[in-house]
Amino acid sequence: MPDPTPRAAGLAANETPASLRWAVRLLLAQAVALAGLVVFLIYQDVAAPASSARNAGLVTVYAALMAAILGLLALALRRRSGWARGPAIVLQLLLLPLGYTMVNGGLPALGVPVMLVGLCGAGALLAPATRAALNLR
């Protein structure tokens, strides 16, 4: 069985493979995009009528929580913490049904890119070089 270390993948011991770098960048970009959405949602919450303030606040908190989780997973993967790979893959794969729903809901211009981002993120995290860099079997 081949050695799953970064050296076996043709990398120096301290070099991060491109697939892991791109996965981290993608997770950080998603976290930043969600943080921007949170700022917009906070503005909308302040301007919302009182009858929908509770639901709007819950959506804002959920978006902020997801932004924080994506950011923490990106930082953990940058530090080569293997535990972060599984949750990050799950979150990337959850973009597929979200994008599919957008496409079926009449927003293909948003849904297709969301699905592509999910596929690219999951692919980068599932790459053998990423697994080897995180010292996973």
Dist CA 53 CA 85 (whole Å):
36
Average pLDDT rounded to a whole number, residues 109-121:
97
Percent of the chain clearing pLDDT 90 (strictly above): 77
pLDDT(34) > 90: yes
Higher per-residue confidence, 13 vs 51 = 51
Q: Are 92 and 122 in contact (CB under 8 A)?
A: yes
Q: CA angle at residue 110 from 107 to 112, to 5 degrees?
A: 100
Instruction: Map tokens 């990050």 to a residue.
Output: 88
Q: Which helix (H) or strand (E) holds 63?
A: helix 53-78
pLDDT at position 102 is 96
Q: How far apart are the first and last CA of the chain?
A: 11
pLDDT for the residue 10? 53
Which residues, 6 or more positions from 137, have their beta carbon under 8 angstroms from its beta carbon?
4, 131
pLDDT of residue 2: 52
pLDDT tens, residue by residue, 37-81: 999 999 988 887 767 778 888 999 999 999 999 999 999 999 999
**Quick one: pLDDT at residue 49?**
73
